[in-house]
Every structure is written in structure tokens, then in C-alpha cells.
């Protein structure tokens, strides 16, 4: 209702009650991913693609030597599963559909998971027995590397943003609700890889604010992009 999607998410019980009071017919709610305190990452094991997404996840775990820890798991009305994991505060995990493996979607920054107890015409989202009392477990490092796209090679250009910088700013300005943070992170990564990150940071921040992000959110996302690209 405030107009900023997942970026209006809150952990304040009074604000949550106020939101439900403003929408008395609501039968469900979303939980924002990528934000404090848990920086939630959702592994959406879909059943609609005709593939065994759970088996695909097990194969990935064997191939890349990680295990899914005991954590919150939510059963969806379609028979799928949402596996909740906690990510590091300085890493932005983008949303993706089928990139990791067929039938496996990722809910990260700018995304959300349907909360347990939510009811749709197809059924109820409910926690899998034995997982409701758990906290979201830390994402295994090997899996986290698969979820974060590798930075592109660094190709320095002139110190002035120029036409390339203007294009990145316009890319951020074109963001719609639900993709503002993801677009900003992508544009900031490209700027820092091109050597114009510092000089373009203020313009990117202003553009992000115009799309609905707060200055704190924008600066935090740009800082995350700077840290990621500096690792190459």
C-alpha cells in the first residue's frame, strides 16, 4: 500500500498490524528477501516445470560439495517447497528463474516469499513439520557462489561518466516496482567495472531515489556493488 513493494517491508508489529487493518480482506502476506535482519534468500523448488527440482538441488549439492542445513521450509499449495536461507549483509543475491537448474527459482534482493499461513484459492502455504521453530540457516558458501553472478572483467575508461554513464543512469530510472534495487545493483557493478563508479555514484543514487528507493537503500546497494567488483 505505501507504494514501494518489498522496500516498504517492516519488522515493526504495529506497522504490520496497520497494513493488515488497511487491507482487511487480505488472506496472505509476503516476506521481503535480501533485507535485515536475515537478508533472506529463498530457494523456490517448483513443481510446475515437469522436472524434479528437489533432485536437481541434490545433484547441485553433490557436484559443488555443499549440504542444505536444517532451516525453515515452507510447503506451497502446488506441492513445491520454499527453502529459507540467510545471506551475508554485504552480498546482493539477484532474483532468477531456472538459472541455477530447471525448476529452481531464486528469491533475492527485490523479491519476496509468500509467508506461511497465507491462503490462496489453491490452498495454504504451511511450514514443513519440524522446521517452524528454526531460524533461517546461513547459506552454504559454495551455494552462495552459485547464486551470485561473477563480476565482469574490469575495463577502465575515462574518469568522466560520459555516454556510458548516462545510459546506466537511464537504466536505473526505467526500473519498475520490484526491480529497483536489482537494476541499481547491476548498473553500479557495470559502472565500477568500467572505472566510473565513484564519479557516477551520486547520479545513480539520485536516479534510484527518483524511482522510490531511500538514499540509505541506494547508497547501501551501490556500496555492495563496489565491494563485489573490487574482489576481481
Q: What is the CATH number of the domain that holds 13?
A: 3.30.2250
pLDDT-based confidence at 144, cuts 50/70/90? very high
Q: Is the pTM of this model over 0.85?
A: no
Same domain, 93 and 140: yes
Question: Is a pLDDT exceeding 90 seen at residue 95?
Answer: no
Mean pLDDT of 142-155: 72
Are 220 and 141 part of one and the same domain? no
Mean of per-residue pLDDT scores for the chain: 85
User: Within this chain, do residues 137 and 178 fall inside the same structural domain, yes or no?
Assistant: no
44 and 75 share one domain: yes
* Position 154 in a domain: no
Could you say which of 147, 182, 209 is where a domain stops?
147
- Check residue 161 and give its pLDDT: 45
In a domain, 14, yes or no: yes
Q: Mean per-residue pLDDT for 68-94?
A: 93
Q: Are residues 22 and 118 in the same domain?
A: yes
Rounded CA separation 61/135 (Å): 21
Range with lowest mean pLDDT among 163-177, 186-200, 212-226: 163-177
For residues 107 and 175, state if they share a domain: no
- Mean pLDDT of the region 116-142: 95
Kindly provide the residue ranges of all beta strands, DSSP E only, lying in the chain, ordered along the sequence: 30-32, 40-45, 73-75, 81-86, 96-101, 104-107, 112-114, 119-120, 123-124, 126-127, 137-138
The answer to the question of residue 128 being in a domain is: yes
Tell me, yes or no, whether 130 and 196 share the same domain: no
**Does residue 64 belong to any structural domain of this protein?**
yes
Mean pLDDT of 122-134: 95
Structural domain ending residue among the three candidates 147, 172, 189: 147
Q: Is the pLDDT of residue 157 over 50?
A: no
pLDDT band of residue 194 (cuts 50, 70, 90) is confident
User: What whole-number distance in Å separates Cα of residue 156 and Cα of residue 227?
Assistant: 17
Specify the pLDDT at position 162.
52
Q: Which of 98, 120, 147 is the last residue of a domain?
A: 147
C-alpha to C-alpha distance for 229 and 212, rounded to whole angstroms: 25
Segment 32-61 shows an average pLDDT of 88
Q: Are residues 135 and 186 in the same domain?
A: no
- Is the pLDDT reported for residue 99 higher than 90? no
Let me know whether 25 and 138 are in one domain.
yes
Whether 65 and 168 share a structural domain: no
Position 18 in a domain:
yes
For residue 156, tell me if it sits in a domain.
Answer: no
Q: How many domains does the chain have?
A: 2
Whether residues 64 and 170 fall in one domain: no
* Residues of the domain holding 98: 5-147
Which of the residue ranges 33-37, 97-101, 135-139, 179-183 would you say has the lowest mean pLDDT? 179-183
State whether 139 and 172 are in the same domain.
Answer: no
- Burial letters 6-41, b for 16+ CB under 10 A, else e: bbebeeeeeeeeebeeeeeeeeebebbbbbeebbbb
Q: Which pLDDT belongs to residue 129?
A: 96
Distance CA 219, CA 196 (A): 16
Which pLDDT score, from 0 to 100, does residue 114 have?
A: 95
Amino acid at each position: 500500500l505505501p507504494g514501494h513493494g518489498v522496500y516498504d517491508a517492516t519488522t515493526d508489529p504495529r506497522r504490520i498490524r496497520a497494513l493488515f487493518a488497511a487491507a482487511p480482506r487480505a488472506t496472505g502476506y509476503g516476506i521481503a528477501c535480501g533485507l535485515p535482519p536475515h537478508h533472506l534468500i529463498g530457494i523456490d523448488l517448483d513443481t510446475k516445470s515437469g522436472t524434479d527440482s528437489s533432485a536437481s538441488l541434490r545433484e547441485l549439492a553433490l557436484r559443488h560439495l555443499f549440504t542444505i542445513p536444517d532451516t525453515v521450509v515452507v510447503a506451497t499449495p502446488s506441492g513445491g517447497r520454499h527453502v529459507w536461507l540467510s545471506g551475508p549483509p554485504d552480498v546482493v543475491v539477484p532474483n532468477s528463474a531456472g538459472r541455477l537448474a530447471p525448476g529452481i527459482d531464486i528469491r533475492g534482493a527485490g523479491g519476496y516469499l509468500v509467508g506461511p499461513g497465507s491462503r490462496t484459492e489453491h490452498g495454504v502455504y504451511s511450514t514443513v513439520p519440524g522446521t517452524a521453530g528454526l531460524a533461517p540457516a546461513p547459506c552454504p558458501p559454495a551455494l552462495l557462489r552459485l547464486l551470485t553472478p561473477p563480476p565482469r572483467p574490469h575495463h577502465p575508461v575515462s574518469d568522466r561518466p560520459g555516454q556510458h554513464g548516462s545510459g546506466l543512469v537511464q537504466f536505473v530510472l526505467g526500473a519498475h516496482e520490484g526491480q529497483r534495487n536489482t537494476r541499481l545493483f547491476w548498473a553500479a557493478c557495470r559502472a565500477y567495472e568500467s572505472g566510473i563508479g565513484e564519479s557516477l555514484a551520486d547520479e545513480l543514487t539520485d536516479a534510484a531515489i527518483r524511482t522510490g528507493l531511500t538514499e540509505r537503500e541506494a547508497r547501501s546497494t551501490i556500496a555492495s556493488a563496489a565491494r563485489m567488483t573490487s574482489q576481481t
